[in-house]
Structure 1
Amino acid sequence: MKYLLKLTLLLIAAIPLCSTAQSPKFPFQNHQLDFETRVNDLVARMTLEEKVSQMLNTAPAIPRLEVPAYDWWNEVLHGVARTPYKVTVFPQAIGMAATFDKASLFKMADYSALEGRAIHNKAVEAGRGGDRYMGLTYWTPNINIFRDPRWGRGQETYGEDPFLTKSMGAWFVKGLQGDDPKYLKAAACAKHYAVHSGPEPERHVFNAEVSKYDLWDTYLPAFKTLVVDTKVEGVMCAYNAFQTQPCCGSDLLMVDILRKQWNFTGYVTSDCWGIDDFFKNHKTHADAASASADAVLHGTDVECGTDAYKSLVKAVKDGKLTEAQIDVSVKRLFMTRFKLGMFDPPAMVKYAQTPSSVLESAAHKAHALKMAQQSIVMLKNQNQTLPLSKSAKKIVVLGPNADNSIAILGNYNGIPTELKTVVQGIKEKLPNANVVYEKAINFTNDTLLVYMNYAKQCNIDGKQGFKAEYFNNAELKGDPITRYETELNLAWQEGQGVIGNITARNFSAKYTTNYTANNTGSLTFEVEGDDGYRFMINGKEVINAWTRNRWGARQYKIDVETGKSYQLSLDYWQGDGKANIKLSAGDYQKTDFLALAEKVKDADAIVFVGGISPQLEGEEMKVNFPGFNGGDRTSILLPKVQTELMKALKKTGKPLVFVMMTGSAIAIPWEAENVPAIVNSWYGGQSAGTAVADVLFGDYNPAGRLPVTFYRGDADLPDFSDYSMKGRTYRYFEGKPLYGFGYGLSYSTFKYEQLALPTQIKSGNSVTLSVTVTNTGKMTGEEVVQVYITNPNSKVKSPLKALKGFERISLKPGERKVLKFTLSPEELSFVNEEGVTQLIKGKLMVSAGGSQPDELNVTSGNVLQKTISML
């Protein structure tokens, strides 16, 4: 009967429709049929070769079936990323986690999805709907647990706590995917599944081994919530192996848990180049065909990055898997595309009508500022150093992040029309003051390359600057398109037009000029660019970073003579991702800290903006600075040179404020003891500088909370490659942190009263608790109310304490609110040694306050606690 019904529907689909001017050519084009029927019809019409082609992230068009090309790869970590269009850039994910505000994150995801829809609509209209970073399948959020602060990609996560991560991740997915009963606004993707968090240099070969307890207590809860409860559309499997099997081919993770226990029906993508890891790095498979077949059999539907999946045609013919098993994956992929409305008339899909005017709309920019403000965590404010006076006559702003636009944008970012660094924010805040800025130091050393405007001394073909030849390939081959550049400081988003028909993907360029020195002495040339470059002086190659030097800068020092001319030639190629090439020149000078302190001692206040940046931490980077390795850190201590400069500045006796930018926890023991005011602003997005200035000068009352533990030093950390949670994060760390998870100060003070909940609860039931919070300060402020449970039964393995509820509220002076929280049976359970969730029996401590129960802060005041009995 079921088959007869489907046959009837297909026959009906062939009948001309009264509502359309033209009948659909194929039943799958008939939008009156359900998605499953349409997907089955489409896949049934495809050849094996066509099916396999659709399992690559760059899925080609199938003209005979009128199926357009599509690239599955797109990013929206904190705003639409890597698009050639200008977009709104929100704070980095770790900063958004620091807001502890689910509603704000939901709105951010909603706004970002709208901008993504507008970009996709524009791309389709321009015939570029199949280009990378133009699609609607976003490989976000990153819900890995930030177990170790040395991991460079931790900035992309929502922190170290499973409850915070799953809560924030769920609201992000809801905002991104929308609430339409039929269509997705965009498709989110939970990554990297699972047990993945560095080290970056070893991610392609590393085998993670964890206990069943840690797996289910720490590493899987966020994935389970997003898959089972939030219905995330996609999942990305991780590079590393788990229990000796590559994650994309894991029996336990991919088959037993994801597909069987959680009944996940969406699509799974490999991480990019991850299938190659099976046979090239993990050495678990003999060749591409074996690896690809095994990945598909484990439910990995699309391969990103390389084309190992092309071997699936041979794998089917060789009997490694069947065409029917290929069909399963292809149907999942087209189901997602159908749910996104890609095969229906735009008039039927409300999101397909999203106008370009949403890009960087006033509401979106305002929310980017709000989230930047909300993300700021005030760590210290001794003797009310902050807020600073707006009547100040002179403010000195120093440090490597004070005017660093790269730092505030984080990684996996888009590019806004306008952004504000801290220097810019302070200057706009105090238009009548003398705001003095000096970089003073680099992140890890005190010797700066003082740049000169050397381009004025560069000429070629009778024109000042550089002759630029652009090639529509990455090999400098063929006939170039030529123009002249006045200087070499060029940047493009991927897919953005470069010149003529050349776009910023797989292009190359040659830049040539003649530099005439006007002084005798040394000169250092610095080349910085993505992907690859090589630099020649007088025909001699002096820098070779041609083999994918992504994110790296190289330098070469020469001696020059007045009036002498030097031929400069710079070759550059770009593969994918954003592109930039920059040639600078100057001479090195060592900063004299005592002289600098003497120069700035007449300031009303000194603001040092330091920390680290995405130039040092991130994904698989080539970084060669003390304390950093491959995108990760080898030490969590603030680089020594920054501490030494602050020591000199402290001696001026002037108010000193340390504004820290970071994507992870930094150990600052000297600063915590000696600097009167410390503010952590993360990588705050396009409005970071405005938000910092608002906090420093009292126009915004900070209430951000740490989503990670700030340890005292490296000795607090277990071995980086050990995935056991013992001694890690606030849940299992038995030492005393510098600043605990959930910590953050305010310009207001708060009081907690009347914690009410039953004294006895039957196991398996939910429990509702209430607590009253009052703003006892003189300023309107926000407070993050946090609920923790502690299991005093030492015979039961469980976290030392665990977050189970949080809410961000705003209170006027004297205002009070009653907050209610409901703890579900799941939140009142524990994971046993076998990884099985069981209900807690016996005594349980419940606390409510503005911090952890034993990590009090001076502005959130008291934490209330009650013991209840679980029957």
Structure 2
Amino acid sequence: MATAARPPFLAMAAAALLVAAWWGGNAGTAEAQAPVFACDASNATLAAYGFCNRKATASARARDLVSRLTLAEKVGFLVNKQPALGRLGIPAYEWWSEALHGVSYVGPGTRFSPLVPGATSFPQPILTAASFNASLFRAIGEVVSTEARAMHNVGLAGLTFWSPNINIFRDPRWGRGQETPGEDPLLTSKYAVGYVTGLQDAGAGGVTDGALKVAACCKHYTAYDVDNWKGVERYTFDAKVSQQDLDDTFQPPFKSCVLDGNVASVMCSYNKVNGKPTCADKDLLEGVIRGDWKLNGYIVSDCDSVDVLYTQQHYTKTPEEAAAITIKSGLDLNCGNFLAQHTVAAVQAGELSEEDVDRAITNNFIMLMRLGFFDGDPRQLAFGSLGPKDVCTSSNRELARETARQGIVLLKNSGALPLSAKSIKSMAVIGPNANASFTMIGNYEGTPCKYTTPLQGLGAKVNTVYQPGCTNVGCSGNSLQLSTAVAAAASADVTVLVVGADQSIERESLDRTSLLLPGQQTQLV
């Protein structure tokens, strides 16, 4: 069953392997933008504030900042779209950036421009993890964080990246399985530690005292592995899990991520676990993540999940109660605007104390202190020399190719492999994904350095004849073009089939109902 879910990712690996990912952007002619930062050294007034004192500890600086805020100001720092606070010289900041397998444009905190038109795109984690190479996981994280910092220095990216996805891919019909390292808790744990350590490690920048290169986030906590399957949606799904199954299967990757990876953040999920929304479960958040595992960081909700527990799960009677129960359970940051809208009223109603709010935003500010956000212009600090020249480098692209090589899984070889370009006079390249570009990148993607399809890669080596076989991946009805595909295969020395799914078949918010190849692709094969 597991192998049936893998064809699209094998195709993705083949594409990554064949890509000569070269970035020919016009970075040399575009102008850099200033990155966002607080505590501008050129402003003498700010130098008097304790939170701008770089010699003080991060926690002391954060407490000083919180002490200067009104309640109305404080609630703005409970959400991902952090507002500017001009009187203290604090600019707006967007917490939500993604880096699942490279710097992504999915989160609003990151974007591409003529200055940095693309970033190195690694294979999806489901393939990378198949290498079983922990040092590779870390090396990928190091490249991704270098490119992220480079983009931050020119105003194109944040510093907080909500990756990796370390949920257990127990059911191969799950649409988001492509984002995960797979179904094994041990391998997923090793992936989490390696990738997170690579992302966050600040050693190369010469910084200490808990400083971070970027802040990673292990998600989605916990027992989350369904999106939308035959009417069952993640927003209302209640995972009934025994304590043993929770401890043996779903929790180990998160435990390793916090204890061994020292991750900066954990994201709670949409679903309930045994009747409680995870973002409102004090035992799971305050008890396990902070109490048992000693998280040194912040806890963030999946996007709009606080709103979901009130409006869709009907877990609380009022929005103020929802704001109160999540913050008191240990939530620090809300992806969405719910806490900004309802927290003041919750405090005024006596359902939440201002000290509870202080605790949450203090955790958030400590993280920004560790990232250097309150240390002035990042171009004058560690990693300040990074810029567009450090994105899509030849060594970064080669690591992406090497990752694809190590992750490809050969299920069977009857003597046909390896192929020799010298002995092949003609090759038929067949399949609905044979000339696909965007499909090869996967989801939670960024703009890659360059797109190269399997057909283009193979065509650069041998003489090829191309037939899609189906006009689309669904391969249903009149889309099947079997006769032309068969004719092309019959006249060629070698036939390469590139079949499988794409985001129209499985993705976030769309689970598969079958493990078979889509439509009539089996007939095509």
SS at match of 1:256: helix
Q: Answer yes or no: is the 8 Å Cα contact 2:430–2:485 preserved in 1.
A: no
Match of 1:438 in 2: 467
1:655-712 CA deviation, whole Å, 9 max, x = no partner? Answer: xxxxxxxxxxxxxxxxxxxxxxxxxxxxxxxxxxxxxxxxxxxxxxxxxxxxxxxxxx
| 1:422 aligned residue (447, 450, 454) | 454
- 8 A contact 1:288–1:308 mirrored in 2: no
Instruction: Tell me the SS of whatever aligns to 1:289.
Output: helix
Going from structure 1 to structure 2, the CA distance change for 1:34 and 1:256 (only over 3 Å counts) comes to closer
Report the more deviating stretch, 611-620 or 167-176.
611-620
1:315–1:642 distance in 2 versus 1, CA, 3 Å:
same
Higher deviation after alignment, 368-377 or 351-360: 351-360
Identity of aligned residues (%): 39
* Structure 2 Cα separation of the partners of residues 178 and 327 of structure 1: 28
CA distance in 2, matches of 1:150, 1:596: 29
Q: Say whether 1:307 aligns with 2:307.
A: no
Q: Work out which of the residue numbers 299, 303, 306 in structure 2 matches 1:275.
A: 306
The structure carrying a bigger strand percent of its residues is 1
Residue type of the alignment partner of 1:41 = D
1:488-527 equivalence runs, <5 A: none
Amino acid at match of 1:601: A
Relative to 1, partners in 2 of residues 1:590 and 1:97: Cα closer, same or farther, differing over 3 Å? closer
Equivalent position of 2:417 in the other structure: 386
Matched residues, number: 464
* Amino acid in the other structure paired with 1:445: C
Q: What code does the residue aligned with 2:331 have? A: T
2:353 corresponds to which letter in structure 1? T
CA contact (8 A) 2:121 2:449 kept: no
Q: Residues 76 and 595 from structure 1, CA distance in 2 versus in 1: closer, same or farther, beyond 3 angstroms?
A: closer
What is the CA-CA distance between 1:599 and the residue it aligns to?
A: 4.4
8 A Cα contact 1:407 1:615, kept in partner: no
Compute the TM-score of the two structures, normalised by the length of structure 2.
0.85
Equivalent residue number for residue 174 of structure 1: 197
Contact 2:84/2:90, CA 8 A, preserved across alignment: yes
Deviation at residue 32 of structure 1 after TM alignment: 1.7
* Structure 2 counterparts to residues 664-743 of structure 1, below 5 A: none
Q: Tell whether 2:219 aligns with 1:191.
A: yes
CA distance, structure 2, for counterparts of residue 68 and residue 113 of structure 1? 23
| Displacement after TM superposition at 1:601 (Å) | 1.2
* Counterpart residue type for residue 322 of structure 1: S
Give deviations 1:298-329, integer Å, cap 9, x for gaps: 11111113334321011111111110110000
SS of 2:434's partner is coil
Counterpart of 1:377? 409
Distance 1:599 1:177, change over 3 A: closer
Assess, with a 3 A threshold, how the Cα gap between structure 1 residues 592 and 205 changes in structure 2: closer, same or farther.
closer
Aligned residue for 1:248, secondary structure, equals: helix
- 336-345 or 258-267: bigger deviation: 258-267
Tell which structure's C-alpha radius of gyration is larger.
1
1:80 paired with 2:103, answer: yes
Partners of 1:193 and 1:247 within 8 A in 2: yes
Name the CA shift for 1:213/1:352 in 2 (closer, same or farther; >3 Å).
same
Cross-structure match for 2:374: 343
Is the aligned partner of 1:91 residue 2:123? yes
Whether the 8 Å CA contact 2:282–2:330 is kept in 1: the answer is no
Taking a change above 3 Å as real, the CA distance of residues 592 and 404 of structure 1, as seen in their structure-2 partners, is closer
Task: Decide which of 43, 48, 64 is 1:25's aligned counterpart.
Answer: 48
> Hey, what's the Cα distance between the residues in 1 that align with 2:163 and 2:131?
19
SS across alignment from 2:78: coil
* Partner residue in 1 for 2:443: 411
Counterpart CA distance in 2 for 1:306 and 1:400 is 41
Instruction: Say if 1:439 and 1:596 are closer, same or farther in 2 by CA, change over 3 A.
Output: closer
The CA deviation at 1:21 is: 9.5
For 1:143 and 1:637, locate their aligned partners in 2 and report how far apart those are by CA, in whole Å: 25
Q: Partner of 2:6 in structure 1?
A: none
1:225 is matched with: 256
- Is 1:136 equivalent to 2:146 in the alignment? no
- Letter aligned with residue 104 of structure 1: L
Structure 1: which amino acid aligns with 2:218? A
Which of 501, 510, 513 is equivalent to 1:612?
501
Code of the residue aligned with 1:236 in structure 2: it is: M
The answer to whether the 8 Å contact 1:254/1:298 transfers is: yes
User: In structure 2, what is the Cα distance between the partners aligned to 1:33 and 1:600?
Assistant: 70
Report whether the alignment pairs 1:62 with 2:62.
no
Shift in CA distance, 326/21, structure 1 to aligned 2, threshold 3 Å: closer
Where does structure 2 lack aligned partners over 5 or more consecutive residues?
1-40, 106-110
What CA distance in whole angstroms lies between the structure 2 residues aligned with 1:601 and 1:278? 58
In structure 2, C-alpha distance between the alignment counterparts of 1:332 and 1:251, rounded to whole Å = 17
Q: Which has the higher helix share?
A: 2
Name 2:363's counterpart in structure 1: 332
Between 346-355 and 371-380, the greater mean CA deviation after superposition: 346-355
Which of 60, 69, 91 lines up with 1:46 in the alignment? 69
Kindly indicate whether the alpha-carbon contact (under 8 Å) linking 2:431 and 2:468 is maintained by their aligned counterparts in 1: yes
Deviations along 1:558-613, whole A, 9 cap, x unmatched? xxxxxxxxxxxxxxxxxxxxxxxxxxxxxxx6545245423441100111100112
Checking the alignment, whether the CA contact within 8 Å between 2:150 and 2:388 is kept in structure 1 is yes
Kept in 2: contact 1:443–1:641 (CA 8 A)? no
Q: Could you state the TM-score of these two structures normalised by the residue count of structure 1?
A: 0.52
Structure 2 counterparts to residues 342-361 of structure 1, below 5 A: 342-345=373-376, 346=378, 349-361=381-393
CA distance in 2, matches of 1:603, 1:194: 50
Structure 1: distance between partners of 2:334 and 2:432: 39
Aligned residue for 1:264? Answer: 295
Please state how far the C-alpha of 1:73 moved relative to its aligned partner. 0.3
- Structure 1 residue 634: deviation in Å? 0.6
- Among 504, 513, 519, which residue is 1:634 paired with? 513
**Matched-pair contact (CA < 8 Å) for 1:440–1:446:** no
Query: How far apart, in 2, do the equivalents of 1:596 and 1:33 lie?
Result: 69
8 A contact 2:100–2:164 mirrored in 1:
yes
* Matching of residues 818-837 of structure 1 within 5 Å: none
1:104 partner SS: helix
Q: Per-residue CA shift, 1:772-794, capped at 9, x if unaligned?
A: xxxxxxxxxxxxxxxxxxxxxxx
Deviation of the 1:378 alpha carbon: 0.8
Alpha-carbon distance in structure 2 between the residues aligned to 1:287 and 1:279: 7
CA separation of 1:316/1:639 partners in 2, compared to 1, >3 Å: closer, same or farther? Answer: same
Alignment partners' CA distance in 1, 2:173 and 2:135: 30
Give 1:395's aligned residue: 427
Letter in 2 for 1:74: S
Query: Which structure 2 residues correspond to residues 100-119 of structure 1 after superposition, within 5 A?
Result: 100-119=132-151
Aligned AA for 1:334? Answer: F
Partner of 1:798 in structure 2?
A: none
Q: Say if 1:406 and 1:615, in contact at 8 Å, map to a contact too.
A: no
Which has the higher mean CA deviation after the structures are superposed, 214-223 or 389-398? Answer: 389-398
- 2:13 aligns with none
Q: Is the 8 A contact 1:233 1:267 kept in 2?
A: yes
Q: Deviations over 1:219-252 (max 9, x none)?
A: 1111111112221000000000112111000132
Shift of 1:347: 6.1
